[in-house]
């Protein structure tokens, strides 16, 4: 499927159907499940669109009502789907089940995504022109974990972007239920040389890639090893640290009040890319990165207050968080 308009940001990955019982109930006993749509890369595109970016998401989906539900939902978030449709008898959509926990019971996720249509994706099925025409191409470490086909397509799309001077953005986003630490390390090592901007949770950089030390040390080692233009190391409640042009930029968090934490990291990345593209012309300079990092933190804080995977917000609301004007009741 071709993208009708030129997108500033193009993302690539899997989007799934999320099914959740009400809080305080169990999957094994509850009769009703709430359905949401979400996936790391489409969540990033949706968050960036909240800041005014023209965003597109490419993937492969089953040519059935479940696949159409995904594209309908993403259009509702002002994200343009660019999808290869799978009309085979084996076509299926990945699903995951989320059961909310409360101390001392943890929130749990059960995946049912094996052999989803995206696991058979081939670059030749996709419209790669939007990737070459975009200012930023973004994907995550989740996508190459799904299958050999998604890993190869990820590499080829990163190459397509790089050849067109499209900025390549990547989030490590390690998922232990998808692959081993050893397999992830090998894949990351082959992909990161193709990347310009890296988002690296500190725990992933340590556990998977073996980088020790504080966030600044990790950022410097990653930047040197893979010749990255910029690295953003996220540190949970300690905020984030960015390294660009030898400048070190630290950003805290605005609030950790949480309704639903799923998708918070994606909102952070989407907020960063959204502001970088809107007011920074996609340029990785210390000044632009500092501003983008602040918008990222505000977007993440807003996402925590929203049920579902996707940030639903506006530039005005995010900027009210930046100005510390959002507490209380809007009258």
Name the residue ranges covered by the structural domains of the chain. Answer: 9-308
What pLDDT does residue 52 have? 97
Which helix (H) or strand (E) is 162 found in, with range?
Answer: helix 148-163
Taking a C-beta distance cutoff of 8 angstroms, is the pair 149, 124 a contact? no
What pLDDT does residue 257 have? 86
Taking a C-beta distance cutoff of 8 angstroms, is the pair 228, 222 a contact? yes
Structure tokens at 82: 């660019």
pTM for the whole structure: 0.95
Quick check: is 171 catalytic?
Answer: no
The string of pLDDT tens digits covering residues 148-174 is 999 999 999 999 999 999 999 999 999
Q: How far apart (Å, rounded) are the C-alpha atoms in residues 112 and 89?
A: 18
Exactly one of 4, 266, 281, 324 is catalytic; name it: 266
Q: What angle do CA 18, 23, 25 make, to 5 degrees?
A: 95
**CATH code linked to domain 9-308:** 3.40.1190.20
DSSP at 96: E
What pLDDT does residue 6 have? 83
DSSP at 235: -
Taking a C-beta distance cutoff of 8 angstroms, is the pair 218, 200 a contact? yes
The string of pLDDT tens digits covering residues 62-102 is 999 999 999 999 999 999 999 999 999 999 999 999 999 98
The string of pLDDT tens digits covering residues 298-322 is 999 999 999 999 999 999 999 999 9
Ramachandran assignment for 161, one of left (phi > 0), alpha (psi -120 to 50 degrees), beta (any other): alpha
- Those residues of the chain that have pLDDT short of 50 are 328-331
Residue 274, SS3 per DSSP? helix
Residues 6 or more apart in contact with residue 15 via CB below 8 angstroms: 37, 38, 39, 41, 42, 57, 59, 61, 70, 74
* HSE of 38, CA atoms in CB hemisphere, 13 A: 26
Q: Which of 87, 66, 73 is nearest to 1 (CA)?
A: 87
What pLDDT does residue 330 have? 40
Counting Cβ atoms within 10 Å, is residue 1 exposed (0-12), middle (13-18) or buried (19+)?
A: middle
DSSP at 118: G
Strand 9-12 relative to strand 16-20: parallel, antiparallel, unpaired?
A: unpaired
Residue 208, SS3 per DSSP? coil
* HSE of 247, CA atoms in CB hemisphere, 13 A: 12
Q: At what angle do helices 148-163 and 181-191 cross, to 10 degrees?
A: 20
Residue 284, SS3 per DSSP? coil
What pLDDT does residue 174 have? 96
DSSP at 106: P
DSSP string, 9-78: EEEE---EEEEEPPTT--TTT-S--EEEEE-HHHHHHHHHHHTT--EEEEEEEESSHHHHHHHHHHHHTT
């Amino acid at each position: 499927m071709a993208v009708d308009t030129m997108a500033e940001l193009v993302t690539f990955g899997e989007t799934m159907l999320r099914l959740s019982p009400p809080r305080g109930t169990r999957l094994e006993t509850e009769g009703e499940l709430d359905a949401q749509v979400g996936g790391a890369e489409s969540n990033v595109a949706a968050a960036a669109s909240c800041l005014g970016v023209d965003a597109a998401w490419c993937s492969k989906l089953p040519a059935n009502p479940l696949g159409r539900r995904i594209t309908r939902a993403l259009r509702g978030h002002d994200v343009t789907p660019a999808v290869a449709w799978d009309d085979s008898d084996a076509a299926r959509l990945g699903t995951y089940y989320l059961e909310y926990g409360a101390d001392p019971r943890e929130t749990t996720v059960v995946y049912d995504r094996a052999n989803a249509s995206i696991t058979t994706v081939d670059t030749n099925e996709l419209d790669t022109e939007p990737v070459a025409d975009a200012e930023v191409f973004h994907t995550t470490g989740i996508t190459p974990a799904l299958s050999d086909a998604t890993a190869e397509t990820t590499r080829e799309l990163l190459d397509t972007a790089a050849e067109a001077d499209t900025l390549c953005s990547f989030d490590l986003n390690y998922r232990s239920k998808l692959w081993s630490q050893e397999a992830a390390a090998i894949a990351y090592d082959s992909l990161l040389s193709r990347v310009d901007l890296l988002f690296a949770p500190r725990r992933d950089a340590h556990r998977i890639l073996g980088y020790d030390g504080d966030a600044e040390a990790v950022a410097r080692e990653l930047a040197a090893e893979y010749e990255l233009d910029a690295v953003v190391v996220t540190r949970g409640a300690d905020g984030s640290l960015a390294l660009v042009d030898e400048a070190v930029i630290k950003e805290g968090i605005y609030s950790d009040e949480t309704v639903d934490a799923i998708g918070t990291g994606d909102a952070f990345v989407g907020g960063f890319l959204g502001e970088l593209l809107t007011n920074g012309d996609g340029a990785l300079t210390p000044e632009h990165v500092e501003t983008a990092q602040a918008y990222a933190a505000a977007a993440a804080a807003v996402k925590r207050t929203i049920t579902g995977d996707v940030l639903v917000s506006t530039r005005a609301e995010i900027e009210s968080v930046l100005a510390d004007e959002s507490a209380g009741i809007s009258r």
